[in-house]
Structure 1
Amino acid sequence: MADRPRSYLVLASQRSGSTLLVESLRATGIAGEPQEFFQYLPETGLSPQPRQWFAGVEDESILRLLPPLTPGSPSTETSEQWRERIRREGSSANGVWGGKLMWNQTPLLVDRVAGLPGRSGDGLRSAIVDVLGEEPVFVFVTRPDKVHQAVSFWRAVQTRVWRAPATRTFEDTAQYHAGGIAHLLRILREQEAGWRAWFHAESITPLEVNYRHLAADSSGAVGKVLLELGLDPSVAPHPVLERQADVRSNTWVERFFVDAAEQGLPV
């Protein structure tokens, strides 16, 4: 149908399953080339580094487990060059665009769009439209079990491995730390609350994808997004990524609940 959007934006928080969804959509060949376009800090050209997630934390027992900062190089793109690149790199041959946006990245997006001419408004919704040229299908990926999500996040910031290949070729040297997990748990809860408050304020009803359903039936979740775009849901692929949750993660979750109760940490 001609009036359907030709773009979609996956809205999420880290370790929610959003990578599984966008990589599955990419694998269809007709649903854009979705990337996390809005994660890069203009002063470094890099995404937030592990230690930047712990700004203000002074506990050395946490900080010593995190890799050192990399300086990077400042971005030299103009706002218009930035927009053109995002539109080009996120599109598949049929003109469908896909991307992913985390709540912590929304200020970066709004700031970067401020340099574009002919702005339609000043808020986040206008920023998205001004980048894409239309209002996309909003797809919200949520993971109800935030402690599991925080454990996954804590492992990822230590190893810098954000997706599992078909064959594990890296050594997972991550170490358990209740304080590190609790810090990221608070961030993840704030991000979820931020998205839901924005949906309410803007009267947006996104296509919501629950992590549990996504993990159990990624093809079904992809098919729903394809239908919203007026595309054939039958091209949804079998799972393209291996789940990173394992016995170790489950053990850490159980241990965290015990430690949180003893140390008075919020869960």
Structure 2
Amino acid sequence: MKPTISYTIWFSQRNGSTLLCEALKSTGIAGKPGEWVEIPPSNTLLEFYQANDYLDLQNKLWLQGTTPNGVFGLKANAPRKENDSIMWELAQIPGAGSTTLAHSEIWENAFPHGKHIFLTRRNKVRQAVSWWKAIVTRQWHLVKGEEKQLFNDNLREQYNFEAIRHLFIEISLRESKIQAFLEDGNIVPLTIVYEDFIKEYTHTIRKVITFLGITQAEYPIHEPYYEPLSDEVSEEWVERFRKELQKDWKNVIW
């Protein structure tokens, strides 16, 4: 089924994208947003979805993320500026006409009637720390009601300034690339800030539904599916990182 509304949630790691996707899925009317174009590097989209051709691929992508009311959702990281294999494949979908089109034009052809949501997190230090801690512990989410994994004091020893610094920079670059994509397509997204989303969970979901142009008045919104993973180790790493980052600065900002 060709969707009547498509939308993309643009995100970087550890800014609440999975929580947002689960909340939108719970309504039953806002698509089934997921990382439909994030695949193992050894695959092509055509291979991964076992599609006969690129028109078949488009239909299979729509099938993954569309609810019966014709709303399609997905979430994505910014495409690479140069030689992005996913963008090259999406440009093969009939209607694009050329692989030299702007990324925004290729995206609109693949996911028509598109709207865009830009998900961000104000505190990039906490975001980078959360990302590194998830890598170290291999615990990316905590489902509500489940017990949190207990880690011994050796976790504290896995603090790594250079790793967190790299992730801190990567987050900024990812968001800059998303902004470049949006500016290139003259797109005004709905911006959702992680810190506000956590405080105004239900209000945020209703705001997204309104932004998408879905007119259904009544729909369920499930309680948050995940719980926060931050703890005293997270706070220790945030404090340590901010101090080490500014160690030789004449004017310490934070």
Task: Bin the TM-score by the shorter chain.
Answer: 0.7 to 0.9
Match of 1:162 in 2: 140
Of 170, 175, 192, the match for 2:175: 192
Shift, 1:200, TM fit:
2.5
Q: Mark the runs of 5 or more structure 1 residues left unpaired by the alignment.
A: 47-73
Match of 2:96 in 1: 119
Match of 1:68 in 2: none
Match of 2:10 in 1: 11
Alpha carbons 1:128, 1:135 under 8 Å: kept: no
Shift, 1:79, TM fit:
3.2
Match of 2:109 in 1: 130
Of 233, 236, 253, the match for 1:251: 236
Alpha carbons 1:165, 1:242 under 8 Å: kept: yes
CA distance in 2, matches of 1:141, 1:185: 16
Match of 2:163 in 1: 180
Give identity over the alignment, percent: 29
TM-score after normalising by structure 1: 0.77
Distance 1:81 1:263, change over 3 A: farther
Give the SS at the match of 2:246: helix
CA distance in 2, matches of 1:98, 1:147: 29
Distance 1:85 1:206, change over 3 A: same
CA distance in 2, matches of 1:233, 1:163: 31
TM-score after normalising by structure 2: 0.81
Structure 1 residue 239 corresponds to structure 2 residue 216 = no
Over the aligned positions, Cα root-mean-square deviation in angstroms equals 2.7
Give the SS at the match of 2:177: helix
Q: Which moved more, 1:226-235 or 1:243-252?
A: 226-235
Alpha carbons 1:224, 1:233 under 8 Å: kept: no
Number of residue-to-residue matches in the alignment: 234
Match of 1:80 in 2: 55
Distance 1:30 1:8, change over 3 A: same
Alpha carbons 1:227, 1:233 under 8 Å: kept: no
Shift, 1:123, TM fit:
2.0
CA distance in 2, matches of 1:104, 1:150: 20
Give the SS at the match of 2:104: helix
